[in-house]
Structure 1
Amino acid sequence: MSENILIQKADPNDEKVLTILEELSSNLYLRFGSDGKNSFQDWQNDNLNFVFVTAVINNEIAGCGAIRPIDENIGEVKRMYSKFPGRKIGKTILAFLENKAKEIGYKELVLETRVKNQEAVLFYQKQNYNVIPNYGKYIDRPEAICLGKSLI
């Protein structure tokens, strides 16, 4: 039986959403010593090029993800998280974000994760993301690995 995963736009500052973001941050901190919050400080709810979504299963927020602009052609995937691994939540969120990115006009999506986060690296590679040179603040950071995918 396939679960019904509802993807919906949300405000990352909404009280209901903060719980899943805190869970993500705690998970990252326990696993890698950094909660990732610093990379999500400049969110702009009123900018249509910023998209934050939640995945809802049976009225429970089960995951989240976001895209934001790097420039007019490139979006960055941020705060991807699935509360229940192996249930296609991440895949469903990412597919939604990729479609939104195309609507916005992004020609490419990029992201960063930790080299140690092999589950994430393998997940993105299965979704046709390829390792790219580290960009932006991740240049010269050996603990970071960056991936990208063409949307055209």
Structure 2
Amino acid sequence: MMESAMDFVIQREDPYSLDAQILMDELSAMLATLSGDGGQSRFCADDVCSARGAFVLARTSQGTPLGCGAFRRFDFGVAELKRVYARPNKAGVGRALLSALEAEAVAAGYHTLVLETRAVNQRAIAFYERNGYSPIDVFPSCSDLADARCFAKTLYGIDA
């Protein structure tokens, strides 16, 4: 569990919980408005419910959900970030979620995180680039998405 000076806590939680579902539905609605696709078909909660995956939720100290994120196994030593979302106007939550996921990934034995977003999602692209993620070739599984953009970050040296 990680606590921030901004008075919120990030911890592993069940991706099937009501709060997790509400946050992921908010993310899907925002993505659908932005790109026409909410991304639900590329996420399976079972993928993040193992020792090689994780689902985390950020909450206020009073328990109000603020955001979520997950990773799943992608390849040997590589995990894929999924469903990273912070509610609007919750400064610092996205960065804290990403840090928590990176630390959890290192603890699970991963050395690299990858992700896919859409070109139209400039806010996400800028966020990941600010946090050390670099563009990579589009995943073969996303080759049918003309506007897919993929990124990666090496996690060596991150304290778990």
1:1-152 matches, cutoff 5 A:
2-41=5-44, 43-44=46-47, 46-57=49-60, 58-85=62-89, 87-152=91-156
Post-superposition CA distance 1:119-145 (Å, at most 9, x none): 000000000000000113113532100
Task: For 2:45 and 2:38, locate their aligned partners in 1 and report how far apart those are by CA, in whole Å.
Answer: 16
Asked if the contact 1:70/1:76 (under 8 Å) is kept, the reply is yes
Q: Percent identity?
A: 32
CA distance in 2, matches of 1:45, 1:151: 19
The count of corresponding residues between Structure 1 and Structure 2 is: 151
1:43/1:50 contact within 8 Å kept: no
Question: Which structure 1 residue ranges, 4+ long, deviate > 4 Å from structure 2?
Answer: none
Between 1:75-84 and 1:11-20, the stretch displaced more is 11-20
Structure 1 residue runs of 5 or longer lacking an equivalent are none
TM-score by length of 1: 0.93
With normalisation by structure 2, the TM-score equals: 0.88
Measured in 2, the distance between the counterparts of 1:44 and 1:120 equals 22
Contact kept in structure 2, 1:134 and 1:140, CA below 8 Å: no
How many Å apart are 1:42 and its aligned residue? Answer: 5.7
- The CA RMSD over aligned residues, in Å, is 1.5
1:66 Cα offset (Å) = 0.3
